[in-house]
């Protein structure tokens, strides 16, 4: 099979992520960030365990090691992103964190010794310029931007690691261990101040954020990245702010300026390049398999 179905599935995941911004912002007005993230990821892990009977029995040492490592990386990235957001404008933060689209192929070139092809370079450049047009309204380098930049590097590491370790047949198990790790870490950090759980009217949105935007989304991402080159996956993930802008316009009647429309057009052009480009399983199946073995990765 080609990687096109996986690319389309990952595009769908970014649409789900893009739909969460206003709901998350509203919930965080009544809940602490760490409490929200901890309970959300624990609920997501529980959902995967319930819908996949025997999941815990099928866990092997390699999947646990890989999932736990990925969970730690993602937890630190999320923490740094939220810390950085407190010290910088949201629009600037959105651009800086989206720089994982640049860091992913760079890290692949350095760590995996895989030079990006011209098509990937073009798609990456279009996506970067597009996100900049949508997000930037000025520029200043400060502590917030630096923290967010480190988060972007960690997101790139996560994308590369998922691409190297994910196996389509073990997507449930790998996603479960990641979610459980993130939920436990965030909950442990939040525990000294007490854990706030959603109340009353917040539960419908919280269930959607936990089940749809966490459990299902991470499961599909893990499966899709077993069939996609990491650089191509990173370009598709940058669609998230495009979807966020479209949902804000359609559901909350926020205006779409010329820069937002122009930036979204460039990101969509990058997506079309990625999806229409012919590709084989995992985007470069032989080299990915070789990297898994040579690096001694837990997923091998």
* pTM listed for this prediction: 0.82
Domain segments of the chain: what residues?
Answer: 4-196+204-287
Note the pLDDT of residue 96: 81
Note the pLDDT of residue 136: 73
Give one DSSP letter per residue of the chain, joined into a string: --SHHHHHHHHHHHHHHHTTHHHHHHHHTSS-HHHHHHHHHHHHHHHHHHHSTTHHHH--HHHHHHHHHHHHHHHHHHHHHHHHHTTS-HHHHHHHHTTHHHHHHHHHHHHS--PPPHHHHHHHHHHHHHHHHHH-S-----HHHHHHHHHHHHHHHHHHHHHHH--GGGHHHHHHHHHHHHHHHHHHHHGGG-PPPP-GGGHHHHHIIIIIIIIIHHHHHHHHHTSS-HHHHHHHHTTHHHHHHHHHHHHH-----HHHHHHHHHHHHHHHHHHHS---TTTTHHHHHHHHHHTT-TT-
Query: Could you read off the pLDDT tens digit of each residue along the chain, which spans 300 residues?
Result: 458 899 999 999 999 988 887 788 788 888 888 999 999 999 999 999 999 988 999 999 999 999 999 999 999 998 898 888 777 766 667 778 888 988 998 898 888 777 778 888 999 999 999 888 887 766 566 888 889 899 999 999 999 999 888 887 899 999 999 999 999 999 999 999 888 888 888 999 999 999 999 999 999 999 999 888 888 899 999 888 888 888 878 876 777 788 888 988 999 899 899 888 765 444 443 333 333 322 222 333
Note the pLDDT of residue 296: 28
């Amino acid at each position: 099979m080609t990687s096109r179905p996986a690319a389309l599935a990952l595009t769908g995941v970014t649409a789900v992520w893009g739909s969460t911004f206003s709901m998350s912002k509203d919930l965080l007005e009544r809940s602490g960030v760490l409490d929200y993230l901890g309970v959300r990821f624990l609920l997501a892990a529980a959902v995967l365990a319930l819908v996949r009977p025997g999941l815990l029995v099928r866990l092997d040492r390699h999947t646990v090691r890989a999932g736990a490592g990925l969970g730690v990386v993602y937890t630190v990235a999320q923490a740094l992103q939220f810390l950085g957001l407190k010290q910088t404008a949201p629009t600037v933060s959105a651009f800086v964190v989206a720089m994982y689209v640049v860091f992913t192929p760079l890290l692949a070139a350095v760590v995996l010794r895989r030079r990006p092809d011209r098509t990937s370079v073009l798609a990456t450049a279009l996506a970067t310029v597009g996100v900049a047009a949508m997000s930037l309204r000025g520029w200043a380098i400060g502590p917030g931007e630096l923290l967010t930049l480190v988060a972007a590097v960690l997101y790139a590491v996560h994308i590369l690691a998922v691409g190297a370790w994910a196996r389509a047949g073990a997507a449930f198990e790998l996603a479960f261990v990641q979610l459980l790790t993130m939920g436990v870490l965030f909950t442990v950090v939040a525990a000294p101040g007490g854990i706030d759980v959603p109340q009353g009217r917040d539960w419908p949105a919280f269930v959607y954020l936990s089940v749809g935007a966490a459990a299902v989304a991470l499961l599909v991402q893990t499966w899709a990245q077993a069939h996609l080159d990491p650089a191509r996956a990173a370009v598709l993930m940058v669609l998230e702010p495009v979807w966020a802008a479209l949902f804000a316009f359609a559901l909350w009647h926020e205006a779409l300026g010329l820069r937002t429309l122009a930036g979204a057009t460039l990101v969509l052009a990058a997506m079309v390049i990625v999806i229409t480009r012919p590709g084989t399983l995992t985007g470069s199946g032989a080299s990915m398999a070789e990297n898994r073995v040579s690096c001694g990765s837990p997923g091998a």
